[in-house]
């Protein structure tokens, strides 16, 4: 294993990634007694950025008894009604879009659960006697995924809206810890290939939210543009874009294709052919096989690998992987 340069990783993000599997069991305890009574017809999850990543994972599992709608905007989704359960998630507790959604939910009198590390979300929940799950502070929102995901799962189980899932989390955490260092080793290897490249992350539709989170980690950790899409849709449009690479004289794109052993045989064939065509047109591509196991293990082990690739790519670029200064600068400009 290569030695981490602590002069670059000033906030020790490597340790945060190493400890991230433990969040899955810790989050269950945070939400152990959080429950809302009601005959709910849907679940509306309000959240932005890293705070919303766990909602995508939950929706991807397709184990809730009613539909999930993820709202990433001001106010409340038009799908919300008197029979909705609204979950407002903001790691900082001060995300203005999520606060707007919570206030709108209050005005409409719908049932709400708040989740945050503090801030205005906690204050509003306390003032209005709204069930609230307090998430530990001190890390970036994109690295609180385990806390938020398992807390949210526990809340929905308590509300009888989710099939029993939390009983898997203890074993899942141990399995993730067992593969964490090997995932880092694989991540270092892939990061070296991506140096000075623009990543494009592809997957089957089953893992499209994992591909999306990889894209986000490249943005926020490595501070580079990145993109994602999924099969088979991309073969009907996006793939054509590679045909013009030679004319514009760039070879900077690198397609990472996340492949699950259980992907449809025709999807796997599409992946192989797409990788060949991308290479033929002057870019690069690599199929990365997701570890086998339960759906949750596949998702979280693939997310770990994405963490390590983007983390080590940041170090290769001599960029601090933790800070997202441009986001903070943007928020300050909005307040002027």
- Phi, psi (degrees; rounded to nearest 5) at 277: -70, -35
Average pLDDT over the chain, rounded to an integer: 94
Mean pLDDT by 10 residues, the chain (336 residues): 68 95 96 94 96 92 93 94 96 97 96 97 98 96 96 96 90 97 97 97 96 97 98 97 88 96 97 97 96 96 98 96 84 79
- 333 has which bridge partners? none
Check for a shared fold between 31-164 and 175-316: yes
Cβ–Cβ under 8 Å, residues 281 and 245: yes
Question: What is d(CA 209, CA 312) in angstroms, rounded to the nearest whole number?
Answer: 22
Strand 198-204 with 253-259, pairing: parallel
Q: Each residue of 101-119: pLDDT tens digit?
A: 999 999 999 999 999 999 9
In sequence order, the 6+-apart residues with CB closer than 8 A to the CB of 331 are none
Burial 24-61 (b: 16+ CB within 10 A, else e): bbbbbebbeebebeeebebbbbbbbbbbbbbbbbbbbb
pLDDT at position 248, please? 85
pLDDT at position 75, please? 96
Q: Which residues are catalytic?
A: 220, 236, 331
**pTM of the entire predicted model:** 0.94
Q: Parse the chain into domains and list their residue ranges.
A: 31-164, 175-316
Burial 108-119 (b: 16+ CB within 10 A, else e): eebbbbbbbbeb
Question: What is d(CA 299, CA 295) in angstroms, rounded to the nearest whole number?
Answer: 6
Name the residue with tokens 């992907």: 263
Q: What is the CATH number of domain 175-316?
A: 3.40.50.10490
pLDDT at position 4, please? 54
Q: How far is CA 295 from CA 58, 75, 181, 313, in A?
A: 11, 33, 21, 27
Cβ–Cβ under 8 Å, residues 72 and 39: no
Cβ–Cβ under 8 Å, residues 102 and 121: yes
CA angle 283, 288, 293 (to 5 degrees): 165
Spatial CA neighbour of 115 closest among 130, 129, 103: 130
Cβ–Cβ under 8 Å, residues 113 and 131: yes
Give the helix/strand (H/E) hosting 105.
Answer: helix 96-108
In a 10 Å sphere around its CB, with 0-12 CB exposed, 13-18 middle and 19+ buried, how is residue 62 labelled? exposed
Q: Each residue of 121-160: pLDDT tens digit?
A: 999 999 999 999 999 999 999 999 999 999 999 999 999 9
- Phi, psi (degrees; rounded to nearest 5) at 16: -60, -45
pLDDT at position 5, please? 61
Q: Is the alpha carbon torsion for 165, 170, 171, 177 positive or negative?
A: positive
31-164 to CATH, choices 3.40.50.10490, 3.30.450.270, 3.30.420.40, 3.30.70.1170: 3.40.50.10490
Spatial CA neighbour of 17 closest among 258, 313, 309: 309
- Phi, psi (degrees; rounded to nearest 5) at 167: -65, -15
Cβ–Cβ under 8 Å, residues 113 and 88: yes
CA angle 307, 310, 315 (to 5 degrees): 120
């Amino acid at each position: 294993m290569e030695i981490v340069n602590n002069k670059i990783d000033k906030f020790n993000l490597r340790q945060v990634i190493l400890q991230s599997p433990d969040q899955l069991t810790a989050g269950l305890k945070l939400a152990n007694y959080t429950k809302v009574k009601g005959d709910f017809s849907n679940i509306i999850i309000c959240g932005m950025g890293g705070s919303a990543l766990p909602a995508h994972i939950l929706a991807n599992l397709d184990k809730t008894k009613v539909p999930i709608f993820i709202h990433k905007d001001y106010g409340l989704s038009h799908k919300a009604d008197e029979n909705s359960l609204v979950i407002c998630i903001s790691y900082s507790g001060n995300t203005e879009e999520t606060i707007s959604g919570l206030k709108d939910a209050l005005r409409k009198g719908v049932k709400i659960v708040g989740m945050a590390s503090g801030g205005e979300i906690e204050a509003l929940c306390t003032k209005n006697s709204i069930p609230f799950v307090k998430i530990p502070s001190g890390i970036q929102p994109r690295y609180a995924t385990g806390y938020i995901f398992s807390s949210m799962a526990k809340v929905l189980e308590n509300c009888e809206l989710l099939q029993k899932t939390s009983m898997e989390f203890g074993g899942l955490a141990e399995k993730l810890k067992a593969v964490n260092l090997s995932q880092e080793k694989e991540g270092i290897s892939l990061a070296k290939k991506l140096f000075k490249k623009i990543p494009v992350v592809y997957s089957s539709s089953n893992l499209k939210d994992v591909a999306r989170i990889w894209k986000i980690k490249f943005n926020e950790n490595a501070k580079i543009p990145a993109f994602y899409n999924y099969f088979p849709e991309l073969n009907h449009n996006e793939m054509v874009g590679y045909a013009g690479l030679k004319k514009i004289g760039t070879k900077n794109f690198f397609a990472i294709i996340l492949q699950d052993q259980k992907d449809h045989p025709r999807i796997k064939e599409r992946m192989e052919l797409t990788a060949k065509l991308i290479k033929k047109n002057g870019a690069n591509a690599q199929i990365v096989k997701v570890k086998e196991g339960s759906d949750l293990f596949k998702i979280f082990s693939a997310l770990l690998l994405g963490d390590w690739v983007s983390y080590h790519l940041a170090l290769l670029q001599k960029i601090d992987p933790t800070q997202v200064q441009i986001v903070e600068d943007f928020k300050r400009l909005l307040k002027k």
